Amino acid sequence: MKRIYMDHGASTPVDKEVIDEMIPYFDKYFGNPSSIHSFGREAFDAVEESRSKVADILNADADEIIFTSGGTESDNLGIKGAAYLNKDKIGGKGYHIITSSIEHPAVLATCRHLEKQGFNVKYLPVDKYGIIRIKDLEEAISKDTFLITIMYANNEIGTIEPINEIGRIARKHDVLFHTDAVQAICKTPIDVGESNVDLLSVSAHKIYGPKGVGALYIRNGVKIYPLAHGGGHEKGLRSSTYNTPGIVGLGKACELGKTRLKEDMAHLKNLRDKLIKDILKIEESYLNGHPEKRLVNNAHFRFTAIEGESLNMMLDEKGIASATGSACSSKKLQASHVLMAIGLKPEEAHGSLRLTLGRKNTEEDVSYVASVLPDIVERLRKMSPLWNR
Amino acid sequence: MADMYTEKVKDHFYNPRNVGEIKDADGAGTVGNPVCGDIMTIFIKVKDDRIIDIKFQTYGCAAAIASSSITTEIVKGKTLDEAMMLTRDDVANELGGLPAIKMHCSNLATDALREAIKDYRKKKKK
């Protein structure tokens, strides 16, 4: 059976060039980059070269990059690291964090953890497209605010936040600005300088790199407290023996992503727009998220009277990999907090479908999905007591 | 995610038995609510205290659809008293098991069936 992968928001295949670059670092150059001998030095050089490549795609300096185990750790390190350091400033800033209500669980759960530790967190609402209101942000800032953490682009509905404006406000009020750019990187140009970002999270496996490796950008001069104590790697901010093959893979993925950015964006946008146009022909189908301010590879829909997990399974039977924001597919049996935050009713949120495109997808893939989906929606609606037509 | 559904669940999801509405049903029961993402309606036709025809409509996940489908299959031809005894574990067992988090789906199916039988008995009394 024909298999079509349209769940690149969940993970991407590792690029062949990335694999080739990684392979020698498993055995040939296996040395510990912290070792003084030649085995260590060749691994060290590779780690440092990767650091430059990651810095390059963000328009940062190499010494502003810390390697981590992935997006979740980067979010935790950036947010908790800033919080734990600021907590000690008695009488000064340090107790108030501003975030949005549509963050990835890695940010939301970290913020909730900090609330239990005595921090105060403001969860900004979003409009119907999932965009925060700048006015709300400005109003939320108080003298106690030390950190704003708002995602670059949403992982579910693909909405891109007004990062430059947020950065300007953060800078104006002398507040740190962290952004989870896990979904945005390699799909939109990122410039930490222009955007006034102080901390930024990156993950390799969303950008055709390996799983289990990521990075945190930390602006020069910004201080954070480490989570992992040990041998003092990464300027003491993240102790742990270097995952050399993973780091090399992340570096290569960033290098390729930067080289191909224009081409990738044009390709993905073309497919995404065709997919949206074709699928919205289905009766009572709607696009979630912003029509333009959205990731080039994200198409997110909802269909009246059907449930998302059933839809995912029917598509899977046709060889198509997709995702949903329905409660039934989650471990918590709750509809997606993102879809609730944009004002959908639970029954609308349950009927959602996320298709996230990738480099290898073709127009034929899009046509195939658009050709099988109407029948699947109809089959499920015929079973549904909510569809009385 | 590992394949969380058994072959039997998938069979009943992809090829559901007894889908639809019985326009002149003797009893009908609806349970669940759209907030949770599951709604089920079961329609029955009864003769001599036996379920002679049964159909369902379900809005929900694969487990909910498969549970409704197999429930209709199990109780078709059974007496109302027998049908009332059906438990969520019976439904789940018949499906070769359901993930723990999906057990409420089999519960919904037996609840909808009981509501339909109660509806029939209430109408009969009148």
Query: pLDDT tens digits for A269-313?
Result: 999 999 999 999 999 999 999 999 999 999 999 999 999 999 999
Distance of alpha carbon A374 from alpha carbon A372, whole angstroms: 6
Contact between A150 and A169 under an 8 Å Cβ cutoff? The reply is no
Give residue B33's pLDDT. Answer: 83
Q: Indicate the pLDDT class of residue A326, thresholds 50, 70 and 90.
A: confident
Q: What mean pLDDT do residues B43-60 have?
A: 97
Both tokens assigned to A309: 């997990």
Distance of alpha carbon A128 from alpha carbon A340, whole angstroms: 10
If DSSP states are collapsed to H, E and C, what string results for chain A? CCCEECECCCCCCCCHHHHHHHHHHCCCCCCCCCCCCHHHHHHHHHHHHHHHHHHHHHCCCHHHEEEECCHHHHHHHHHHHHHHHHCCCCCCCCCEEEEECCCCHHHHHHHHHHHHCCCEEEEECECCCCCECHHHHHHHCCCCEEEEECCCECCCCCEECCHHHHHHHHHHCCCEEEEECCCCECCECCCCCCCCCCEEEEECCCCCCCCCCEEEEECCCCCCCCCCCCCCCHHHCCCCCCCHHHHHHHHHHHHHHHHHHHHHHHHHHHHHHHHHHHHCCCCCEEECCCCCCECCCEEEEEECCCCHHHHHHHHHHCCEECECCCHHHCCCCCCCHHHHHCCCCHHHHHCEEEEECCCCCCHHHHHHHHHHHHHHHHHHHHHCCCCCC
Mean pLDDT of chain B: 93
Closest CA to A203 of A151, A264, A266, A141: A151
Residues of A in contact with B19 (CB under 8 A): 382-383
Tell whether the model's pLDDT for residue A91 goes beyond 90: no
Q: What mean pLDDT do residues B65-93 have?
A: 96
Asked if A278 reaches chain B (Cβ–Cβ under 8 Å), the answer is: no
Q: Least CA distance to A306: which residue of chain B? A: B59
Q: How far is CA A351 from the centre of its chain?
A: 23
Of residues A69 and A94, more confidently modeled: A69
Tell whether the model's pLDDT for residue A371 goes beyond 70: yes
How far does B5 lie from chain A, in Å, by closest CA?
Answer: 11
Q: Which fold has domain A16-257?
A: Aspartate Aminotransferase; domain 2 (3.40.640)
Q: Indicate the pLDDT class of residue A328, thresholds 50, 70 and 90.
A: low
Strand order in the sheet with A298-303: A285-287, A298-303, A352-356
Tell whether the model's pLDDT for residue B81 goes beyond 90: yes
Q: What mean pLDDT do residues A115-129 have?
A: 95
- Tell me the domains of chain B and their CATH numbers: 7-125 (3.90.1010.10)
Give residue B118's pLDDT. Answer: 97
For A63-66, which contacts have Cβ atoms below 8 Å and span 24 or more sequence positions? Answer: A63/A220, A64/A192, A64/A217, A64/A218, A64/A219, A64/A220, A65/A215, A65/A216, A65/A217, A65/A218, A66/A215, A66/A216, A66/A217, A66/A218, A66/A234, A66/A235, A66/A237, A66/A238
The residue annotated as part of the active site, out of A111, A186, A254, A328, is A328
Residues within 8 A of A (CB atoms), B 24-63 only: 30, 34-41, 57-63
Tell whether the model's pLDDT for residue A92 goes beyond 70: no
Q: State the span(s) of chain A assigned CATH 3.90.1150.10.
A: 4-11+261-383
The reply to whether B61 belongs to the active site is no
Q: Indicate the pLDDT class of residue A248, thresholds 50, 70 and 90.
A: very high
Give residue B126's pLDDT. Answer: 77
Contact between A153 and A169 under an 8 Å Cβ cutoff? The reply is no
What are the pLDDT digits (tens) for A167-210?
Answer: 999 999 999 999 999 999 999 999 999 999 999 999 999 999 99
Q: Indicate the pLDDT class of residue A252, thresholds 50, 70 and 90.
A: very high
SS3 of chain B: helix, strand, coil, percent, to 5: 50, 25, 30
The reply to whether A328 belongs to the active site is yes
Structure ipTM over 0.90, yes or no: yes
Asked if A321 reaches chain B (Cβ–Cβ under 8 Å), the answer is: no
Asked if A183 reaches chain B (Cβ–Cβ under 8 Å), the answer is: no
Residues within 8 A of B (CB atoms), A 367-386 only: 382-386
Give residue A117's pLDDT. Answer: 87
Q: Least CA distance to A332: which residue of chain B? A: B101
Q: What's the angle, vertex CA B43, arms to CA B41 and CA B44, rounded to 5?
A: 150
Tell whether the model's pLDDT for residue A380 goes beyond 90: yes
Q: Out of B19, B57, B59, name the one closest to residue A307 (CB).
A: B59
| Terminal-to-terminal C-alpha distance of chain A | 33
Distance of alpha carbon A157 from alpha carbon A291, whole angstroms: 10
Give residue B105's pLDDT. Answer: 84
Closest CA to A275 of A311, A308, A300: A300
Tell whether the model's pLDDT for residue A389 goes beyond 90: no
Tell whether the model's pLDDT for residue A95 goes beyond 90: no
Task: Mention every residue, 6+ apart, whose C-beta is less than 8 A from residue A294.
Answer: A153, A157, A158, A159, A160
Closest CA to A379 of A309, A277, A311: A311
How far does A377 lie from chain B, in Å, by closest CA?
Answer: 12
Tell whether the model's pLDDT for residue A327 goes beyond 90: no
What CATH class has A4-11+261-383? Answer: alpha beta
Mean pLDDT of chain A: 95
Flag the least confident range among A235-249, A354-368, B24-38, B77-91: B24-38
Tell whether the model's pLDDT for residue B111 goes beyond 80: yes
Tell whether the model's pLDDT for residue A332 goes beyond 80: no
Contact between A178 and A111 under an 8 Å Cβ cutoff? The reply is no
Q: Indicate the pLDDT class of residue A152, thresholds 50, 70 and 90.
A: very high
